[in-house]
Amino acid sequence: MKNLKQIKVVPTSVQVANSLRSAILAHEFKKDDVINLNATAAKLGVSNTPVREALQILAQDGLVVLRPNKGAVVLGMTKQSIRDYYETRIILESAAARKACQAENLSQIEEAFMDEDAIVQQGEFFRYSKCNRVFHGAIWDTTENEKLISLMSSLWNTTSRAVHSAEGEYVLMAHEEHRRLKEAIMDRNVDLAAECLEKHLTRSMLDVMTRFEDE
């Protein structure tokens, strides 16, 4: 029973927000496109309420501007907004990596990396995105700071769905960076852990920025 984990039910509004966010970041919605409240609800098979709440989430993420009772207008993302999000992540996650080095129990980080390593060794790169999120989340969780975890989750959600690649070269590079970061944390090397985290996210940011063109 000790290994059983609590099942988290994702609210419909969050699922809708994730779906719309993916579409926006994949450029299925262009800048200034209108996301119609009624049409979106009908297409997704939900009521207007979760769609309205989802649009509020996306507005907080800076992806849309709300239009009362009608929907929202897409703002899109630019290289500058990508840079802003990643620089904020670097500040917060570097602090989390430093704090992780002082945590009593690091088994969650070790387990997350081993799961990721298994899918890489098997060449199942299509599964990497989820493992990537779990690995970073394991580091955040060691802080036991709910506000920090919430902020980092929000930043992750804003950019991740458009930037994670299943290409083998990308996955292998990121996995090796995770290995160095994990080892630094396990060695309780505070400065090296923060340095590895910063290099990892900076490289990821530069990769992501090549996928976006300022309008």
In a domain, 1, yes or no: no
Number of domains in the chain: 2
Residue 163 pLDDT exceeds 60: no
Residue 162 pLDDT exceeds 60: no
pLDDT tier, 5 (very low <50, low <70, confident <90, very high otherwise): low
Q: Would you state the pLDDT for residue 211?
A: 66
CATH number assigned to the domain comprising residue 64: 1.10.10.10
114 in the same domain as 152: yes
| Torsion (CA) 162, 43, 131, 140 in degrees, nearest 10 | 80
Residue range(s) defining the domain that contains residue 57? 12-74
pLDDT tier, 215 (very low <50, low <70, confident <90, very high otherwise): very low
Taking residues 160-181, what's their average pLDDT? 78
Largest Cα span, the chain: 54
Q: Would you state the pLDDT for residue 68?
A: 82
- Exposure class string for 114-131: b at 16+ Cβ within 10 A, else e: ebbeebbeeeebebbbeb
In a domain, 205, yes or no: yes
- 38 vs 23, which has greater pLDDT? 38
In a domain, 5, yes or no: no
201 in the same domain as 151: yes
Q: Would you state the pLDDT for residue 59?
A: 85
Q: What is the mean pLDDT of the chain?
A: 86
In a domain, 7, yes or no: no
166 in the same domain as 109: yes
In a domain, 2, yes or no: no
- 36 vs 3, which has greater pLDDT? 36
- 165 vs 72, which has greater pLDDT? 72
Q: Look at residue 214 and give its three-state secondary structure.
A: coil
Residue 181 pLDDT exceeds 90: yes
- 110 vs 77, which has greater pLDDT? 110
Query: Cα(209)–Cα(109) distance, rounded to whole angstroms?
Result: 28
Q: Would you state the pLDDT for residue 8?
A: 58
pLDDT tier, 23 (very low <50, low <70, confident <90, very high otherwise): confident
